[in-house]
Amino acid sequence: METSKHYHPDQIALPKGKIRYSIAVILLLLISVSYADRVNVSILIADTQFLSDMGLTGQPARQGLLMTVFLIPYFITNLFAGQLGGRVGPRIAMTVAVVLWSISLFISGAARNLGTMLGARAFLGFGEAVQWPMMVAFVRNWFPVKERAKANSIWALGLSIGPAIGLPLVAYIVGDWGWRASFFFLAALGLLLPLPVVWFLTSDHPRQHRSISKDEVAYIEAHLDHEEASQNEGGLAGFGAMGVKGLLKIPNFWILVVGYMCLQAIFFGSMMWVPQYMKMSRGFSLAETGAIAALPWIIGALSTMMIGFVSDKFQKRGIFFSIGLFMTSFCLYMAVTVSDRYLCIAFICLNSFFNGWCLPMAMTIIQSIVPGRMAATGAGVMNGVGGLLGGAMSPVIVGALIGATGSYYTGFLYFIALGILGGTLGAVLAFKKI
């Protein structure tokens, strides 16, 4: 980092300009569009025409492959995407990612058989894999530690806003124009909206931005300098130069990775199967399913927005991560066991409320326990390992459980058990005052 002077953060007044928060809003836009891209299959597996065209009627395990083949290359690429972004910078990496995932969506819309569809889904996973490590890199480069939970919560809103808008929108498009039109619409959206925004309105570091004030640059850099000095004093200085090997010497990182694995399994598994569960088991129509499926994501958005401010106030990330996963398990158990279908919706919404605050906590924890120079690499490894073993396997495992037992109940039990494990690991981090 190039600075002419080094100040203690307390010597720098809070700047009037807040260009840094415009970066967080741009990241929100990116994640919203990408999550709308990936959840459309949740509606499509409830569409009889799509299932017939792809030869998937009555085959839940194979239906689960639509999400799993996306997630496997997605999470594997995450292992290396952080290092790639470190070389070319998050701005260029994100620009390339948007182009790649838009191409994959055009291919999906033109697919004539399941093989082509699965190949396009895998390509989508490769294209979107760069996103997570670059989100962490942007926040690490642009925000002081004390503001990162808020910044992470802003962009993490996209995890809920994307599906909340995308699910009913895709249901509407599929109902009126067919499933192919949904892919073409999402492909065009990516090229017309996030692509020019990330290229023209972001920069890798604050001092490279054309519109930022000198006061805001000084404020950000003083805090980042102080953070780096503190990490050096804490004995973490040499880890950045050691690459991924340095992560092996941070036990708390691996506790977080396993907890994150549980979170991802619940997140992507429920993303895939809850809409079909609402249609097949609870008796809602496709149009109703799209609208109902959006409600939990709206609730999750409110939770994500709230937790950033609450967490920054109390600085207890591990406690919030633990509570979120424990309560997720409880709400999913209630959702699948209550007889009233509207009460079921209420508990699924509550599940999203508690689940919604876990991801910002995971991202904020990793930005605190991993040295700054390894932030993107650490996030990539966490998302790669935790996501591959949790998120990528969850849709097909749950599909196999549903197919073997003929009941959605066993699939929900899988989520519940993982929530309890993840909550326990979050409690361990809380005990370590993280």
- State the pLDDT at residue 118: 95
Calculate ∠ Cα 155-161-163, nearest 5°.
Answer: 125
**Domains, in order of start, for the chain:** 17-431 (1.20.1250.20)
* Contact by Cβ (8 Å): 113, 59: no
- State the pLDDT at residue 222: 82
Residue in the block written with tokens 């997570």 = 132
Model confidence pLDDT, tens digit, residues 377-412: 787 788 778 888 898 889 889 989 998 898 899 999
* Interatomic CA distance for residues 61 and 45, integer angstroms: 11
* Interatomic CA distance for residues 288 and 286, integer angstroms: 5
* Contact by Cβ (8 Å): 152, 140: no
Dig out the tokens for 261 from the structure: 């694995």
pLDDT by position in tens, the chain (length 434): 444 455 555 555 566 668 899 999 999 999 999 988 888 888 898 889 999 999 999 888 889 899 889 988 888 887 777 667 667 888 999 999 999 999 999 999 999 999 999 999 999 998 888 887 888 889 888 888 778 878 888 888 888 888 888 888 998 999 889 999 999 999 999 999 999 999 999 998 898 998 888 888 888 888 777 766 665 555 545 444 455 667 777 888 899 999 999 999 998 888 888 888 988 889 888 778 888 888 888 888 888 778 777 777 777 788 899 999 999 999 999 999 999 999 999 999 999 899 888 888 887 888 777 776 676 678 778 877 888 889 888 988 998 999 889 889 999 999 999 999 999 999 998 888 77
CA distances from 235 to 223, 239, 311 (A): 19, 9, 26
Non-local (6+) Cβ contacts of 78 within 8 A are 129, 132, 133, 380, 381, 383, 384, 387, 388
Comparing CA positions, the residue from 428, 15, 3 lying closest to residue 219 is 15
How far is C-alpha 132 from the chain's CA centre?
A: 7
* Contact by Cβ (8 Å): 56, 115: no
Non-local (6+) Cβ contacts of 236 within 8 A are 250, 371
Model confidence pLDDT, tens digit, residues 288-310: 888 888 888 888 888 877 877 77
Comparing CA positions, the residue from 188, 187, 170 lying closest to residue 179 is 170
- State the pLDDT at residue 4: 40
- State the pLDDT at residue 269: 87
Q: Can you list the alpha helix ranges (DSSP code H) found in 178-242?
A: 179-192, 194-201, 214-233
- State the pLDDT at residue 2: 44
Non-local (6+) Cβ contacts of 177 within 8 A are none
Model confidence pLDDT, tens digit, residues 35-72: 888 888 888 988 899 999 999 998 888 898 998 899 88
Provide the residue type at 335 as one letter. Answer: A
- State the pLDDT at residue 3: 44
